[in-house]
Amino acid sequence: MTRLFKTFAAGAAIAASLAAVPAFALDDSQKKEMGAFIREYLIQNPEVMIEVQNALEAKQQAQRTDQSTKAVAANKDEIFSSPNDIVLGNPKGDVTVVEFFDYNCGYCKRAMSDMDDILEKDKNIRFVLKEFPILGPDSLAAHKVADAVRILAPEKYPEFHRELLVGQEHASEATAISVATELGVDETQIRKTMTEKPNDDVVRQAYQLANAIGITGTPTYVVGDEAVFGAVGLQQIEEKVGNVRSCGKASC
């Protein structure tokens, strides 16, 4: 029997005994001896810590996925069919991809090409843009302008969205209004709409959905029954879409 195996066997025996014996049953000498043994074992077998970390991350991810799946099922209408969201692609597409985004999110800027590619390649995708301003006052102000553009000139929103997200280094009320007016939307009407029809309820609903789903950053996608966190790239989004078509779920 190798020393490593003996060490492992001893560790397993101690772990088993600990499960049955309360910690307070150990005297100080025993606790010190056990601590020294555990330390020696981990020093000799540091890969165990990687295994523990991987197991922890897998457990946390499983819990997060379970939470998000339940939340998506409970909030389908608000996620996929809110009248406050702009729909790109095929309005009658067989699969919907929802993106929570912030105009000042660098990852969202880089992920724009993923949206473009999937809409170009797949003519049966319904892509929903859900405004989720979480990166400070300038983001919130830019999204207020965006909501006014959506109300006043929804046909110009896609171009406005692209220019403000990708074409501007930093989004704010000023840059958002500048983009909107360049597209022919009247500034006076924008400001009037922002005052008379503030997007407070829209943002509040987005925050509530994000909290329920477990969203803490942007971009986050919802595909089928599942949330997909982060700028995961075109391939993973396409895989989720394909799964929804083949088995009705994002993960078959």
In one-letter notation, the amino acid at residue 28 is: D
Q: Give the tokens for residue 176.
A: 């958002």
pLDDT at position 160 is: 97
Which has the minimum average pLDDT: 44-53, 54-63, 66-75, 122-131? Answer: 54-63
- Single-letter residue type at 41: Y
> Which of 2-16, 21-35, 197-211 ranks highest by mean pLDDT?
197-211
Max CA distance (Å), the chain: 83
Average pLDDT over residues 35-53: 84
- In the predicted model, what is the mean pLDDT of residues 202-218? 94
pLDDT classification of 34: cutoffs 50, 70, 90: confident
Please name the amino acid found at residue 19: A
* 34 φ/ψ angles, rounded to the nearest 5 degrees: -65, -40
pLDDT band at 114 (very low <50, low <70, confident <90, very high): very high
Residue 58 reports pLDDT greater than 90? no
Q: How confident is the model at residue 29 (pLDDT cuts 50, 70, 90)?
A: confident
Q: So what's the pLDDT on residue 25? A: 67
Round to the nearest angstrom and report the end-to-end CA distance of the chain.
44
Residue 52 has pLDDT above 50, yes or no: yes
| Tokens at 159, concatenated | 């171009």
pLDDT score at 88: 97
Peptide bond into 219 cis (omega under 30): yes
Instruction: Provide the whole-model pTM.
Output: 0.76
Higher pLDDT, 45 or 128: 128
Mean pLDDT estimate for the chain: 88
